[in-house]
Structure 1
């Protein structure tokens, strides 16, 4: 979709008009809208073909309500043969231009790669403003980049595992790096062995696809802070020898969502020109079964020397992240923030629902700032607190730590506390764990998010970094 800012005084010949409605009072078509039982509510939408207008309701003057409204209108627009639409922006919509642009671009997204018949309809959206100010132009530009990054993540997540395995993920990372003019290093299994990253190495060793450690680096001049983003890149997770039930394997292409979010976020950060040095570390691995698979009862040694008792090979993401977190801290010094992203636990989905990210760590203020950034960006998030009693649940009698807890309760938190064992003392207060297991992949449309990958993590991370500038 092409989105333009058009001044009110300029000529415009759009095919149809989209009208966002908070109240029916004073509307020219209010009588017919009432007959059609249209209400100014979220996701309420009607097309008046003869009038060439799409009316869509919204309830609040906030990001979510406006983004959902425009996404709903765009979906209705896509069902017509019209090619261009206009929206006359009032003060409320101008103040929420970010929501309007991102809602339109995110709502338009469809994953049709595997469809035998594809629609290649190109549409245009003209936003009519009183005056094109530099501020509005900046918001439009930034929102386009952010939306593109989210949609890139969605496409990667939705791609079938036969077409998206570790070496492909590495190739995509190199392509994104080239496009954004940032550096990219890719390491294979020999590197993992040499550098004693045996937790990550063990997870992927039964796959025919070699595991890859990906390191993206964005280093602008005069960077004011140094940030590290670490992503779980399980391109497919069968559960390993602790094999998942067949129904639970469906959709496990989504287990790479954290790594995909990190790749796209690095691309967006570079495109936005944010004044921070940012590194992206992704462990791209496929967890499969075979004669060489790692086993329950194995004792693995991570990069920092800690030993891990394996009691369930389906708790593999935390093993990959453990070594990636150690790699990041060993290779990158003087870090200001270190964030990791993972579809880590079903327990998080049970606890907070499928639309919300669980945020964990040791720094209460940092966690709450992350939640606030998520909410302002259009994502849902909440904190899950560590506690001394759950810490005991991951104690091992034969190793330093166990990869699963001895209790069925608090699984998201115990997974986060497992990762805390691989955060060095000097970085304890700088680290946040984002469990995106719920929102990263949902098999139904929600708001401006499609069936499948949502791109969770991208917008809230960029918003957090932008807040550091403010």
Structure 2
């Protein structure tokens, strides 16, 4: 599907169908052509209206905003995809007078058109080939065409990177093993000259004393890998940004076995690692001006005679001892060693992403990412900037009372708390123990357990993976890049 900006009046562009937005139920604006039919059909602009005879689709949006635009574009695509429609035209609806609107337009179409159907015996394909965007603007202001075209390109890169993450998360555990993740990372580096990739095997992990990572892997037939991707910009970088991703390609819960219903969808436990890999992919294509790293901890958490056990004590790479009280709290163990290693890269900004706690889903709902960390100002600024991506986020604060709950009687800390409440926060506090003092004000932990994988379609997201964390972080990096200019 090609999306093209045309410097032409909407009425002079030929297409099979025209899409028109109705903003705030204002059904009399200059692009509306079917006012007479609105009365007949009792249409007030608060919903969508498909007029097959007129070859026009009206999409009702409450107000203009980046995410409202994404949702509208997705609705346009999904309403018309099953018809014999090859081309669609739409005018411009610029929000806040910024060309970022065009980035949102492309994201809406590309994200909304995603499908994971490789295991379907009969997969229907949309006939939509081209989307034409007219420079005719809703507010009457003239569009800066070159900047708008750059925004279209950025939107395509960001949305495709998100879909890249979705593909990996949606892939079944039989296929997507830790080795598969390593091969995908190597393939990505081979494709982009400004990306390097190193894959570290079990021997390296043992040499580095990454005992927590190794302990989680022990019962799996698939070897663990730590994957390090590095993007280097053309010019000297002023910042080094490091992402760390949890890459549990499957999580059974270990000996603290999950119920059958909870085990289903656990292929999604690699979402953090796939998001980090997708960010590196997009960074290379966007040519961001920062040195960006992704450190991925890839393993399975399985059961067997050699499985690690509740009551075990692990000496992590950092030297901190951890009492295992629940083997299903394994992601934080993998991250503990990966975060410790990643800090040797001397990051200016350190962000980890993980489908870490069910408590986050309970507390914030299925659609919202939890942001944790010690620096409240950093989290607030991150949320302010990244929210333009459309990803929903909520900040959770640390407190000393909950910090007491992860202390152990027989080790330095425990991998679960002594209270059943505040599980997302206590998991973040556990990870904080492995963040060096000099990095604590520049660190954010993103618990993406809610939106990473949902078993029903929502917004412009389909059943399954959403690529949680990809767009938010890329919008944040783009904002940093604008500050550098």
TM-score, with length taken from structure 2: 0.93
Which has the larger displacement, 31-40 or 122-131? 31-40
The equivalent residue for 2:135 is 129
Contact 2:210 2:337 (C-alpha < 8 Å) held by counterparts: yes
Contact 1:45 1:73 (C-alpha < 8 Å) held by counterparts: no
Q: Secondary structure at the match of 1:155?
A: helix
Q: Residue 303 in 1 paired to residue 317 in 2?
A: yes
The equivalent residue for 1:328 is 342
The equivalent residue for 2:71 is 68
The equivalent residue for 1:341 is 353
**TM-fit CA distance, 1:30:** 2.6
The equivalent residue for 2:232 is 219
Instruction: Report how many residues are paired.
Output: 466
- 1:116 equivalent among 103, 121, 124: 121
**TM-fit CA distance, 1:34:** 4.2
Measure the CA separation in 1 of the matches of 2:160 and 2:202.
32
The equivalent residue for 1:259 is 273
Alpha-carbon distance change, 306 to 75 in structure 1, aligned in 2, over 3 angstroms? same
Which has the larger displacement, 414-423 or 77-86? 77-86
Residues 294-336 of structure 1: per-residue CA shift (max 9 Å, x gap): 1111111111111110010000000000000011012x12x21
**TM-fit CA distance, 1:13:** 2.4
Measure the CA separation in 1 of the matches of 2:83 and 2:278.
32
Measure the CA separation in 2 of the matches of 1:349 and 1:15.
43
**TM-fit CA distance, 1:12:** 3.4
The equivalent residue for 1:104 is 109
The equivalent residue for 1:203 is 216
Residues 342-369 of structure 1: per-residue CA shift (max 9 Å, x gap): 0000101111111111101111111111
Task: After TM superposition, list the pairs within 5 Å mapping 1:11-410 onto structure 2.
Answer: 12-22=13-23, 23-26=26-29, 27-41=32-46, 44-92=47-95, 95=98, 96-123=101-128, 124-130=130-136, 133-181=145-193, 182-220=195-233, 221-330=235-344, 332-333=345-346, 335-410=347-422
Measure the CA separation in 2 of the matches of 1:391 and 1:351.
19
Measure the CA separation in 1 of the matches of 2:367 and 2:181.
25
Which has the larger displacement, 361-370 or 176-185? 176-185
Alpha-carbon distance change, 227 to 166 in structure 1, aligned in 2, over 3 angstroms? same
Q: Secondary structure at the match of 1:326?
A: helix
CA RMSD of aligned residues (A): 1.5
Q: Secondary structure at the match of 2:383?
A: helix
TM-score, with length taken from structure 1: 0.96
Contact 1:207 1:286 (C-alpha < 8 Å) held by counterparts: yes
Measure the CA separation in 2 of the matches of 1:85 and 1:252.
38
